[in-house]
Amino acid sequence: MGKKIVIAGAGIGGLCAALALAKRNFEVVVYEQSSQLGEVGAGLQLSSNAMHVLEALGVADEVNAKAFAPTSAVMRHYQTGKTYFTVLLGNAATQKYGAHYQHIHRADLHTVLYTACKKMNVSIHLGKGVQSYQQTLQNISIQLSDHESIEADLLIGADGIKSKVQACMLGETPAEFTGQVAWRGVVEANKLPKGLVKPNANLWVGPGKHFVSYYLRGGELVNFVAVQERIDWQKESWNEPGDINELRDTFAGWHPEVTELLSAAEHCFLWALFDRKPLKQWSDRNVTLLGDACHPMLPFLAQGAAMAIEDSYALAHCLASDVDTQTALQTYQNIRLPRTRNIQLNARKNAALYHMSTPIEQAKLAILSGLSNVGLSDTVAASKLDYIYGYNIVGQLN
């Protein structure tokens, strides 16, 4: 199609966008700040809305081969283990939403996307990050971290919550610390008592903290994410080593399914959770943003990767449908901004519920717990997620 598209960032959003665009015959070049590829962190949840896109991009089989399909999502009391609600996943989710619900290691998804991009001849440059840009009437001049300057017809900022492209477009605005930190790690399943971790998306909620665990790689690994309200830690790094003994102490007295899992863990990472208010503008003429660069998600709905994946498909569709780039980028923003804003804000609200932060939230959980005896809360909980999981951007746009 003649347009040269540069993508800043080779994370999941950047590679997914590169693949979606390459499949529509665009020339795509990706620049990544890191000198080597590999997603730090651990697991992520690919709900049905994300899997629709991965199916359309032809990588669903590879993803399914490396993933784990949970049976249910279950919220439980941090000490007693009493169930607040259960949302059926597995075959029930596939039948209801038309696509699987999967858990996958970030590195595995990254490898699948990278391999698919290379097959489509996407050019990926490592150790070169996009620093800034200037636009002329003819094209965009892009400055890279090694002081090289390149030209392009379109620039996509998929460079995360500390996006240089966003800063150049809208000015520097620091992300806000949420007062919460997240510990992450993985444990080999064979190091745990058999059956300790149920084959679900397990969510344990308690005062000021919550704990999530689920299987990866067909059940070979168990992923955990532990979130704690804490004001004394503000490093934004994803790969800051955490003190595993401190993590165990933090969750001492929780249900044995949590404490036994942590006793088998050898390493963990710790990072502060930062947030930004939803943006009103994602595009500047022939430059646009995608994923965390325009809508960073707190992990309380597990939709960060899924929203970047949806963005990728929508952006490629809009650019292929409209000869005028600026019109296409405006259409992309109009399609995506209301949905991502809604999910951003709802993820923020869930923090209070998960951490029983107020008497109102404690009462909500008590009501959920009481209703679960008659099955009402399960239905209510499932229906509250339909607007996320039941969304199919591929079907909407085609």
Calculate the CA 264 to chain-centre distance: 26
Q: Let me know: does 18 contact 116? Beta carbons within 8 Å.
A: no
- Sequence length of the chain is 398
- Angle subtended at Cα 28 by Cα 22 and Cα 34, rounded to the nearest 5 degrees: 120
Distance CA 225, CA 137 (A): 47
Q: Let me know: does 26 contact 1? Beta carbons within 8 Å.
A: yes
Q: Let me know: does 159 contact 130? Beta carbons within 8 Å.
A: yes
Q: Let me know: does 332 contact 313? Beta carbons within 8 Å.
A: no
Which amino acid is it at 67?
A: A
Terminal-residue alpha carbon distance, the chain: 20
Closest CA to 74 of 199, 184, 175, 188: 199
301 DSSP assignment:
S
- Answer yes or no: 214 catalytic: yes
Q: How many helices (H) and strands (E) does the chain have?
A: 13, 17
Q: Let me know: does 226 contact 247? Beta carbons within 8 Å.
A: yes
Q: Quick check: helix, strand or coil at residue 375?
A: coil
Distance CA 50, CA 44 (A): 11
Q: Let me know: does 290 contact 308? Beta carbons within 8 Å.
A: yes
- Residue 195 CB partners (closer than 8 Å, separation 6+): none
Closest CA to 251 of 223, 226, 224, 219: 226
Catalytic residue among 31, 84, 214, 354: 214
Closest CA to 29 of 110, 126, 112: 126
Angle between helices 376-389 and 359-371 (to 10 degrees): 110
Secondary structure (H, E, C), 233-278:
CCCCCCCCECCHHHHHHHCCCCCHHHHHHHHHCCCCEEEEEEECCC
* Active-site amino acid positions: 214
